[in-house]
Amino acid sequence: MPVYKAPLADMRFVLHQLYDSAVVTDLPGNAEFMPELIDSVLEEAAKFCEGVLFPLNQSGDLEGCTYENGVVRTPSGFKAAYNAFRDGGWTAMGADPEFGGQGLPIPAAMMIEEMLCAANVAFGLYPGLSHGAYVALNHAGSEVLKQTYLPNLVSGKWAGTMCLTEAHCGTDLGMLRTKAVPNDDGSYSITGSKIFISAGEQDLTENIIHLVLARLPDAPSGVKGISMFVVPKFMVRGDGSVGPRNALQCTAIEHKMGIKGSATCAMSFDGATGWLVGEPHKGLRAMFKMMNTERLSVGIQGLGVAEVAYQNAVTYARDRIQGRALTGVKAADKPADPIMVHPDVRRMLLTMRAYIEGCRALAGWVARELEILAKSTDDDAKQAADDFASLMTPIIKAMFTDLGFEIASLAVQVYGGHGYIRDHGIEQYVRDARIAMLYEGTNGIQALDLVGRKLPQDGGRLLTRFLDPVMEFIEVHENNDVLAPFLPPLQQAVEHVQIATGFIMENAMSNRDEIGAASVDYLRLFGLTALAFVWARMVAIAAPKAEADGGQFYRAKVQTAKFFMERLLPQTGALLAAIQSGSATMMEFEDSAF
């Protein structure tokens, strides 16, 4: 049976030591969120995730969701778990107190989200989509819409979805056909079909609030003609109670590779009543507020699945005995040594650990900036935070999910043949991790966003939000003996990013294909460099504490950082070489030869 324990020690390290939690506590409205309170919330979340959600993960995968005559039933135990989740106030943790939320700072909320994803990523999608709908409505909705829908979304009594994709258009939303016709009372009649709608129908909540992209009759073509509408499953009466059913239904659920406990629905809107959210033809802008939130959440999905896969790989490597160590017998009382002694197994485990802890640290940085953006009264600080979060969003989404899949696959490799069969539960993590590389914009699209939009924006201002603190750190610590092994590889990686950036920008002037050809490699190059920076920062904190009593946690930090710098970061050189090779080899290949 799989195991999972929330990595609370590392989460506390990131929140309180790596990024001084006082920075967050000092923001307006956060005075009560002292480290002691944050830690107690994390501990309670860990108990819920470990004790309630994690035991449902395998059974939910085996049973899956069922569909019959428009009704979707989630796996056994999900409804009771959701009720406990809602009653415990977890749906409200990151929402505005104005609507019944608890206002938990984003860095802590992100750590709890990781626990949810590690314990049961399919379950976590239900409240996750609802929070995304809350974010979009709170950002772009009228006061009437906010008061009508947000309190029940925040409480978890109602759920939310985002309805973008149609059978003929996924990434290219400019081709969507769903129509919105004005009614005399100010509402709209929504007609069309949507596919791949996570939680589009379920038995967990009494109402589902769909955010639907559609076109008005006078809409211009392409993405400039998309509007967003709120379309409830059941109409809401004037007193806030649930009324008659709206003209929409789930027509099928998908039979998927993974996340089988999450209902992925085909939805039909047949003149359903909806209300405009924000301005006409500006729906994509409003929806992107939700999508960017979801992209960060999807990145955390990758991190969560990676963490639980790693924990199980370590447990198996300690227990499984096969062969003898190359340097001689280690377990003389046993017929073979634990596979933990073999260099290749240790390589896999350290690879997993180095990526996971680096990603958690990087996510903590982004979360802190998002909290500053949300609550600071300093306009310059808010602008810097917005720039940095915008730059890092495609990296968090794409690199974290790529690594989540790679790490889940490595866990299977540690298990050998036993990892490939269902009994141990490890193959599920590979299947569950795979979707995160696809939804909320495929990782190739994230790479194009980074290189094609974020890098050139405002003359490269966003890039400086990353490079400036890195260069400042290197300069401040240039004489720090503790960091002597870590700064040169970090500096070289930064130079690789700068050279690659210059190459792409220069060559893209004459051939736009250079952006597409370089984008995926560039995103990984940038991401690895960002991980190198946060690892160097962690060493600066951990190394002075490594030799003290009880310093094993800090010694492991330094040792893992060394592994990352020596065994993983050198990829940046190869990635730079690939980028500099240009687009010719792929674009000049004859179409007919494929």
Per-residue 3-state assignment (H helix, E strand, C coil) for 319-351: HCECCCCCCCCCCCCCCCCEHHHCHHHHHHHHH
Q: What are phi and psi of 104, to 5 degrees?
A: -60, 130
Residues 491 and 487: their CA atoms lie apart, in Å, by 6
Report the SS3 class of residue 25: helix
Mode of pairing for the β-strands spanning 158-163 and 207-214: parallel
Nearest to 171 by CA among 439, 403, 466, 417: 439
Which residue has tokens 């930064």?
494
Residues 303 and 363: their CA atoms lie apart, in Å, by 9
The CA-CA-CA angle for residues 281, 285, 288, to 5°, reads 140
**Token duo for residue 22:** 């006082």
Which residue has tokens 């007919």?
592
Q: What are phi and psi of 66, to 5 degrees?
A: -120, 150
Q: What would you report as the CA-atom Rg of the chain, rounded to the nearest whole angstrom? A: 24
Residues sharing a CB contact under 8 Å with residue 320, sequence separation 6 or more, in sequence order: 338, 339, 415
Run of H or E residues at 227: strand 227-232
476-to-280, 479, 484 alpha-carbon distances in Å: 50, 8, 12
Residues 594 and 587: their CA atoms lie apart, in Å, by 12
Task: Indicate which residues carry an active-site annotation.
Answer: 440
Beta strand residue intervals within 495-553, DSSP E: none
**Token duo for residue 226:** 């998309």
What's the one-letter identity of residue 370?
L
Residues sharing a CB contact under 8 Å with residue 325, sequence separation 6 or more, in sequence order: 337, 341, 342
293-to-139, 155, 297, 308, 527 alpha-carbon distances in Å: 12, 19, 6, 23, 19
Residues 210 and 201: their CA atoms lie apart, in Å, by 10
Tell me which DSSP letter residue 421 carries: S
Across the strands, what pairs with 161? 210
Nearest to 159 by CA among 196, 127, 121: 127
Per-residue 3-state assignment (H helix, E strand, C coil) for 98-163: HHCCCCCCHHHHHHHHHHHHHHHHHHHHHHHHHHHHHHHHHHHCCHHHHHHHHHHHHHCCEEEEEE
CB 405 within 8 A of CB 302: yes
